[in-house]
Amino acid sequence: MTTTLLAFDFGTRKIGLASGQSLTGTGSPLPALPCREGIPDWEQVRRLLAEWQPDLLLVGLPLNMDGTDSDLSQRARRFAGRLKGRFGKPVQLIDERLSTREARDRLGDHYRGGSDPRVDSMAAVLLIESFFNDGAGEAV
């Protein structure tokens, strides 16, 4: 049986988004979700879930390099809890340390005066790959 995932790379201005499935163990970037103070348009999220029919939602957990919570960790946890509460889908938090740096490297992010707008969704792809490679995550 194939498992379909949606991954969210949490941010306060936009949330990177990717889809993935277990058959290939890979993810594909989707357009990032604009948000205000970490709150997306929940109707847009509902439409995405209806379209992709994911079995599991992944949310990146922004930890400090020493594994302690960062300033954004609690906000990402709240976002994950809201996803689960609103949509009744299983949600797992995935350590996202260094995912943005790796996403920039993969994209060859050489933008001048700003970063590549694809970086957040590529970071969400990395969350999916991490899940399939390591199986590690913290259930919400």
The CATH number of residue 130's host domain is 3.30.420.140
What pLDDT digit, counting tens, does each position of 16-37 carry?
Answer: 999 999 888 889 999 999 999 8
Q: Which amino acid is at 120?
A: D
Which pLDDT belongs to residue 121? 83
DSSP 119: H
CA distance 64 to 108: 24
Residue 17, domain extent: 4-139
Total number of domains in the chain: 1
Q: Which residue stretches of the chain have pLDDT < 70?
A: 97-117, 135-140
